Amino acid sequence: MKSVRKCFGDNVVLRDVDLTVEPGQCVVLIGASGSGKSTLLRCVNLLEVVDDGVITFDGRDITDPRVDGDDVRSRMGMVFQAYNLFPHLDVIGNVTLALRLVHDVPADEARARGLAMLERVGLAEKAKARPDDLSGGQQQRVAIARALVANPRLMLLDEVTSALDPELVGEVLDLLTELKGEGVTMLLNTHEMGFARDVADRVCFLHDGHIHEQGSPEQVLGDPQQERTRTFLSRIR
Ligand code: ADP
Ligand code: MG
């Protein structure tokens, strides 16, 4: 992202945002509620149209109006706080839907890839279950499997543990840690500072839509240079 700006009416929600995620990196956004974290992720996924600046993905300017948004989104995986699984489909149906409908993968192959992905997130035995019969942590792992199954170049994760009961947060963070170890590229926002410290390659502190400070977790979380970063961290600890 280079000089990205996004407004909703008079409200400037992102300003002068410069951000790079290299292949294999995990970049973590932190910041107060309303600082623009979700909007930033939605701009990358072209769910929002930026007002100014450039977003380059896989070597291509995706803010160019001629770009096919569905094609870009098909190469990214996005996971939300509220899992958003399809309640009328079983787990394997959720995981394979986009493979079949968006990527034109034949049903047999989609099923095989879906089952392998469920194995990878530790839920192979739940393939035939309905989302409602799973715990929140299991549902979120299914949502992550669904986003990963088409081998996206980038995973976008918007507060994926915030809706979970505290005892279920760990299983989802453990999965993200494993994915990082496997080289999955991730841009995410979270309030889990322990996770950010252990897994992030870079931490970016957003304040009023601007990246106020970014650097290694040791630097931003351990020795923040900006007063606002220190204030934010002292409030959440
Ligand atoms: P965060 O995820 O850091 O809590 P958001 O990106 O959700 O922050 O919101 C940043 C700002 O943008 C807030 O002031 C919010 O009210 C505003 N905003 C977000 N989405 C919309 C929208 N669709 N329409 C108008 N304002 C919005
Ligand atoms: Mg948000």
CA 187 – CA 127 distance, rounded (Å): 28
C-beta neighbour count of 34 within 10 angstroms:
12
Phi, psi (deg, nearest 5) at residue 116: -60, -40
Averaged confidence pLDDT in the chain: 96
Phi, psi of 55 (to 5 degrees): -120, 120
- Measured from the Cβ of residue 129, the count of other Cβ atoms closer than 10 Å reads 16
Q: Give yes or no for residue 204 CB within 6 A of ligand 1.
A: no
**Residues of the chain under the 70 pLDDT cut:** none
Q: Which of 38, 48, 80 to mutate to test the pocket of ligand 1 (most atoms within 8 A of CB)?
A: 38
Q: Is 139 in the pocket of ligand 1 (CB under 6 A)?
A: no
Name the DSSP letter for residue 220.
I
- Determine the pLDDT at residue 177: 97
pLDDT at 236: 86
219 CA distance to ligand 2 middle (Å) = 24
Cα–ligand 2 centroid distance for 110 (angstroms)? 32
Res 110: pLDDT: 97
CA angle 191, 195, 200 (to 5 degrees): 100
Which residue among 4, 13, 232 is best mutated to probe the pocket of ligand 1, counting the most ligand atoms within 8 A of its Cβ? 13
Give the orientation angle of helix 136-148 with respect to helix 166-181, to 10 degrees.
Answer: 20
Residue 116's identity, in one-letter code, is A
What radius of gyration do the chain's Cα atoms show?
18
Residue identifier of the C-alpha nearest atom 25 of ligand 1: 8
- Which residues have C-beta within 8 Å of that of residue 124, sequence separation ≥ 6? 115, 118
Between the CA of residue 216 and those of 36, 84, 195, 202, what are the distances in Å? 21, 32, 13, 5
**Would the CA dihedral through 204, 205, 210, 214 be positive or negative?**
negative
Which two three-digit tokens encode residue 56? 């380059």
Q: Which of 144, 100, 140, 142 is nearest to 125 (CA)?
A: 142
